[in-house]
Amino acid sequence: MITAVSIIVVPYDHSESSKKALAKAAALAQADERIELNIITVVETHLLYSEHLSVKGIRDDLLAEAREHLDEAKRNLSQLPNTIKTAVLIGTPSLSIVEYAIQKDAELIIMGSRGVTGLKELFLGSVSHYVVQKSSCPVYIVK
């Protein structure tokens, strides 16, 4: 249950699914200004350290694009009185989301069922499936 001061983590990758999850989180946060939204994007380690992306500028571009998407998401929520924090994480998305939620003592993760990877499983994307299985807090999946 969401308490007086709660942290909701919203993994965001600029996909339609993550935009819907962010909208659901915003609707929940609107009910209580003490709810803090943490919008995170995970840049996959293999993208940053691939031999094909050895040029520092390309890596910087990936991180800048992630930051830009988070800034846009935060601007879209500017009407909310809630505290909104953003973070760009580097690592494996599924593991990074679970670890971030633990570090922040989150009470809820709200995420889309599929991201921009294009890889599909039968019911859930592999990232959302992992998060549901391994998270220490409840996970709300938005279709």
* pLDDT, tens digit (0-9, with 9 covering 90-100), for 102-118: 999 999 999 998 765 54
For residue 99, pLDDT over 50 is answered with yes
Mean pLDDT of the chain: 86
Q: Quick one: tokens of 41?
A: 């994007």
Rounded to an integer, what distance in angstroms lies between the CA atom of residue 93 and that of residue 136?
A: 16
- What does the pLDDT read at residue 126? 87
Pick the CATH number of 7-142 from 3.40.50.880, 1.10.3720.10, 3.40.50.620, 3.40.718.10: 3.40.50.620
| 87 CB-near residues (< 8 Å, 6+ apart) | 38, 39, 40, 41, 70, 100
- What does the pLDDT read at residue 5? 61
- Determine the Cα angle at 136 with ends 37 and 118, to 5°: 70
Rounded to an integer, what distance in angstroms lies between the CA atom of residue 110 and that of residue 125?
A: 14
For residue 137, pLDDT over 60 is answered with yes
- Confidence band of 59 (pLDDT split at 50, 70, 90): confident
What is the pTM (predicted TM-score) of this model?
0.86
| 65 CB-near residues (< 8 Å, 6+ apart) | none
- Confidence band of 95 (pLDDT split at 50, 70, 90): very high
Q: Quick one: tokens of 18?
A: 């993550």
Contact 70, 41 (CB under 8 A): yes
Q: Quick one: tokens of 7?
A: 């942290």
For residue 63, pLDDT over 90 is answered with no
Q: What is the mean pLDDT of residues 21-42?
A: 96
DSSP state of 94: H
Contact 70, 37 (CB under 8 A): no
